[in-house]
Amino acid sequence: MVYRLIAIAVLLAALATSCTCDNDTKTVDSMSTSYEPKFREDGQLWFLDESGVDTNLRITIEVAMTDEEIQYGMMYRKSMDEMNGMLFLMKNERPQSFWMKNTYIPLDIIYINSQLRIVSIQKNAEPLSETSLPSFEPALYVLEVNGGFCDRHNVKVGDKVYFEHRRQ
């Protein structure tokens, strides 16, 4: 745990020294470094049809489960492979809301309930926007994939998912 906190502190210090900030708004305007977090392969996620029987698609996932990982999410990443996604394991099933601050690529944000059913999708979320992107029903999991992914792969509200990951 101590090593993880030290690593986070070093990362935050590096980010703080590599940003230019607008003193009037106190927001990060741009990154002056080529640093980009690397995608971590933590597991697999399958998209199933509404019956939960037929597999439509499988992707590789990075899992965000600590408070720090959930808050950091996809920030500062400039790309993601089409068949990758970030799965957020939230603490409680409730209405969730994400935003795109410091996120450079458009994303589809998929909200999933405790029964592993997709309850809401925010498509093509605008990069760097601070607009709230809520779920329309309670969700326990949130999956971020490239913008347009849901349309390209026919992922829709009512579909089910199944996932396995190595993180504890």
Question: At 109, which CATH number?
Answer: 2.60.120.1140
| 12 and 44 together in one domain | no
Could you give the number of structural domains in the chain? 2
| 56 and 104 together in one domain | yes
> What does the pLDDT read at residue 34?
59
| 122 and 66 together in one domain | yes
Is it the case that residue 29 has pLDDT exceeding 80?
A: no
Is it the case that residue 24 has pLDDT exceeding 60?
A: no
C-alpha gyration radius of the chain: 16
> What does the pLDDT read at residue 37?
81
Query: What percent of the chain has pLDDT above 70?
Result: 79
| 71 and 31 together in one domain | no
> In whole angstroms, what is the distance from residue 37 CA to residue 154 CA?
29
Residue pLDDT, tens place only, 43-53: 999 999 888 88
| 79 and 107 together in one domain | yes
| 42 and 31 together in one domain | no
| 31 and 46 together in one domain | no
Q: Which three-class secondary structure state does DSSP give residue 14?
A: helix
Range of the domain at 13: 1-35
Residue pLDDT, tens place only, 102-147: 999 999 999 999 999 999 999 999 999 999 999 999 999 999 999 9
> What does the pLDDT read at residue 168?
72
Give the CA distances from residue 25 to residues 20, 22, 28, 29, in Å, rounded to whole numbers and listed in that order: 12, 6, 9, 10
pLDDT band at 14 (very low <50, low <70, confident <90, very high): very low
